[in-house]
Amino acid sequence: MTETNQPLLFAYAVEDAPRGQKSYWTRIGRLFSHKDGKGYDLVLNALPINGRIVIRHEEREADTPQK
């Protein structure tokens, strides 16, 4: 991973909300591709206590589906 390497995907902690409400999504990390294309580095800034990590492509705000 280099300073110019852009994240390929992003890691989120997701906490379920009460029925009928949106879940709470918090970005907690980034996934970077190795230069040789044979692996990845997952860099986390936090660990969710519920153990659930969701890895997704970044979405622009206008493209974000209702969660």
Q: What pLDDT is attached to residue 52?
A: 94
In a domain, 4, yes or no: no
pLDDT band at 2 (very low <50, low <70, confident <90, very high): very low
10-57 residue pLDDT tens? 999 999 989 999 999 999 999 999 999 999 999 999 999 999 999 999
The total number of structural domains in the chain stands at: 1
In a domain, 39, yes or no: yes
In a domain, 33, yes or no: yes
Question: Could you tell me the two tokens for 40?
Answer: 């990845």
At residue 8, does pLDDT exceed 60? yes
State the first-to-last Cα distance of the chain, in angstroms, to the nearest integer. 31
Q: Are 5 and 38 in contact (CB under 8 A)?
A: no
CA separation for the pair 49, 65 (Å, rounded)? 25
Task: Give the structural domain span for 36.
Answer: 9-59
pTM metric for this prediction? 0.75
* Sequence-distant contacts of 21-30: CB under 8 A, at least 24 apart: 22/66, 22/67, 23/67, 25/54, 25/67, 28/53, 29/53
